[in-house]
Amino acid sequence: MTHLPQISPTALAELQTDYLKQAAALWNSALGQSEAPTVNDRRFAAPEWRSNPAASFLTQLYLLNGRTLQQMASAVEADDKTKARIRFAVQQFVDAASPSNFLALNPEAQKLALESQGETLARGLQHLWGDVQRGHVSQTDERAFEVGKNVATTAGSVVYENALFQLIEYAPLTPQVKARPLVMVPPCINKFYILDLQPDNSLIRYAVAEGNRTFVVSWRNPDDSVKHLTWDDYVETGVIEALRVAQEISGQKQVNTLGFCVGGTLLATALAVLAARGEQPAASVTLLTTLLDFSDNGVLDIFVDEASVRLREATLGAESPKGPQLLHGQELATTFSFLRPNDLVWNYVVGNYLKGEAPPAFDLLYWNGDSTNLPGPMYCWYLRHTYLQNELKEPGKLTVCGEKVDLGAINAPVYIYGSREDHIVPWHAAYRSTPLLKGRKRFVLGASGHIAGVINPPAKPGKPAKRCHWIGKGTTLPADPEAWMAGAVEHAGSWWPDWSAWLAALAGEPKPAPKVPGNRKYKVIEPAPGRYVKVKA
């Protein structure tokens, strides 16, 4: 018999007693009999929240109720996944119920409306109507950016394309380049230009400036003509084809490879498929915030179980009644935004609509809102065989492109990077790739999150270093990630120079930089960043 999640009477009584004690103290402070506690929450940082007694009391009461609801969620007696889902749902409710989200309860927004004689409210309604037409809450001024004009501007050329991707070769910035080229595989759930936002924070430009002949996969934003594509297609027609073209253009038997997020999962799968065919095209493998072992997937794990995957297969997969369908990019974008709702949803609801503020121009948030679709069969396979069944890590368990997949058969040195505050690929999960790959390994941990940790360029001369990173002592990697962390050494600034030095030792001798991109077989199709990246979902 299945038991519903519940809270033990003892735990519930303790929570009730603690709540009543804190509520009484709050009421006494409201009556002036004691000092109200300090609120360290940026939603209520404006002086209007403190100077207005009613707003101050409401804030304290809301925070008390929110804490108590989360304590109740944590006290539920259930399995780990059920508890995580309850905590997530409660947190969504608590964040949505914040008094800052409502004009009638937000003294800061009310003051702005009075001072502007209602102009802020009029602007807010205009912003709301614009977002209704766009279909999402605006996080930045989207009119301020244009792909190829002021983002994704590193010079290069599209030298190959098929129905799935374009391959960009970037123009050299040095008189000589290393013999072995670098092939980057970005995630297919986002546009590649997260690696090329601005010249000063572009990992692509940095790699080129370090003397690497650099190729980057620009995934197509799928439409109905390719909604039938599978994971095998992304591996064979995508990654393997990109590696083959880069080998032919460069004339090199081996290339250096880099995969970011799901791009790293695709890259590792492709290299394992090629290893099963007796091919070892990678001189090195760099994996940035990548999952290969899906045992612990952070907050995303709460969305995946047998029932949810079956629902996706029945509505999006090849066997669905309507045939394969697209997973639309806005659905993915909304899901990721609600993983951090105060930062990526309610913050903009308050600013855009209640205060009438135009969101600032921010390249990272423009990229974040430039969503991509996914073919349903590809997405369903990915969900079932990685997130749900975690089969990629098991040698021979999966068959991809007609080959048994064994990650341990990849014969190449590996650079594995994780971000310490990553909520999408927790750094412990990134570290779990280390025993799966048998080549010489280096693990580096960066500060900050999934994106900001990766896009962390070296500081300019005379400027203070941003963030930091950790590198382990010696060459051995213990099984326990916390044991690795205990022996790691913190270094100020970007991890990029460490990676570049590691890569340089594997990139071959320098040779004169090519005068033109591509070769006789693979001619220039169009300038970078190409057409595919400009297609909107």
Residue 188 · residue 220 · CB < 8 Å: no
286 φ, ψ (degrees, to nearest 5):
-115, 125
The arithmetic mean of pLDDT across residues 242-266, rounded, is 98
Question: What range defines the domain where residue 187 resides?
Answer: 156-328+373-534
| pLDDT in the model for residue 336 | 81
User: Within a 13 Å sphere around the CA of 188, how many CA atoms are in the beta-carbon half?
Assistant: 28
Do 269 and 406 have their domain in common?
yes
472 domain residue, yes or no:
yes
358 domain residue, yes or no:
no
211 domain residue, yes or no:
yes
User: Within a 13 Å sphere around the CA of 130, how many CA atoms are in the beta-carbon half?
Assistant: 18
Q: Give how far Cα 89 sits from Cα of 15, 32, 42, 69, 70, Å.
A: 19, 36, 22, 11, 10
CA distance 477 to 414: 12
18-22, 185-189, 462-466: least confidently modelled range: 462-466
| Residue 56 token pair | 């101050």
| pLDDT in the model for residue 117 | 95
Do 405 and 322 have their domain in common?
yes
Q: Give how far Cα 249 sits from Cα of 264, 406, 457, Å.
A: 23, 28, 29
Residue 215 · residue 154 · CB < 8 Å: no
454 domain residue, yes or no:
yes
Preceding omega of 281 cis (within 30 degrees of 0): no
**Does 129 have pLDDT greater than 60?**
yes
**Does 1 have pLDDT greater than 60?**
no
**Does 250 have pLDDT greater than 60?**
yes
In angstroms, the first-to-last Cα distance of the chain is: 46
Per DSSP, the residues of 454-497 read TS-PPPPTTSPPPSEEEE-SSS---SSHHHHHHH-EEEES-SHH
The arithmetic mean of pLDDT across residues 293-307, rounded, is 87
Do 84 and 169 have their domain in common?
no
Helix (H, G, I), strand (E, B) or coil at 183: strand
Give the pLDDT band (50/70/90) at residue 290: very high
| pLDDT in the model for residue 332 | 83
Examine the fold and report which residue of 87, 115, 143 is the final residue of a domain before the chain moves on: 115
**Does 422 have pLDDT greater than 90?**
yes
The pLDDT tens digits for 134-151 are 888 899 988 899 999 999
Q: What percent of the chain clears pLDDT 70, i.e. is strictly above it? A: 99
Do 294 and 441 have their domain in common?
yes
Please report how the helices 119-134 and 107-115 are oriented relative to each other, as an axis angle in degrees rounded to 10. Answer: 110
Contacts 24+ apart (CB under 8 A), 20-26: 22/64, 23/61, 23/64, 26/57, 26/60, 26/61, 26/64
88-102, 237-251, 293-307: least confidently modelled range: 293-307
Do 164 and 89 have their domain in common?
no
Provide the CATH number for the domain around residue 401. Answer: 3.40.50.1820
Do 260 and 314 have their domain in common?
yes
Helix (H, G, I), strand (E, B) or coil at 245: helix
Contacts of 466 (CB under 8 A, 6+ apart): 456, 459, 493, 494
Helix (H, G, I), strand (E, B) or coil at 343: helix
Do 181 and 40 have their domain in common?
no
148 domain residue, yes or no:
no
260 φ, ψ (degrees, to nearest 5):
-115, 125
The arithmetic mean of pLDDT across residues 48-55, rounded, is 90
Residue 376 · residue 389 · CB < 8 Å: no
Do 160 and 26 have their domain in common?
no
| pLDDT in the model for residue 479 | 93
Q: Give how far Cα 8 sits from Cα of 15, 21, 76, 116, 518, Å.
A: 11, 20, 8, 52, 68
In terms of pLDDT, which residue wins out, 156 or 1? 156
The pLDDT tens digits for 169-200 are 999 999 999 999 999 999 999 999 999 999 99
Do 87 and 182 have their domain in common?
no
Largest CA distance in the chain: 84
| pLDDT in the model for residue 163 | 96
**Does 74 have pLDDT greater than 60?**
yes
Per DSSP, the residues of 61-88 read HHHHHHHHHHHHHHHEES-HHHHHHHHH
CA distance 349 to 534: 27
423 domain residue, yes or no:
yes
The pLDDT tens digits for 193-236 are 999 999 999 999 999 999 999 999 999 999 999 999 999 999 99
Torsion sign (Cα): 227, 231, 236, 241: positive
| pLDDT in the model for residue 414 | 97
Do 77 and 208 have their domain in common?
no
255-259, 326-330, 411-415, 467-471: least confidently modelled range: 326-330
CA distance 296 to 226: 31
- Tell me the average pLDDT of the chain: 93
Q: CA torsion 326→331→332→335, rounded to 10°?
A: -150
In terms of pLDDT, which residue wins out, 185 or 297? 185
Instruction: Clarify whether 261 is annotated catalytic.
Output: yes
Total-model pTM? 0.93
353 domain residue, yes or no:
no
Do 302 and 391 have their domain in common?
yes
Do 15 and 111 have their domain in common?
yes
DSSP code, position 425: S
Give the pLDDT band (50/70/90) at residue 333: confident
190 domain residue, yes or no:
yes
**Does 70 have pLDDT greater than 60?**
yes
Number of domains in the chain: 2
Contacts of 480 (CB under 8 A, 6+ apart): none
Give the pLDDT band (50/70/90) at residue 36: low
Candidates 273, 470, 295; CA nearest to 388 is 295
| pLDDT in the model for residue 35 | 61
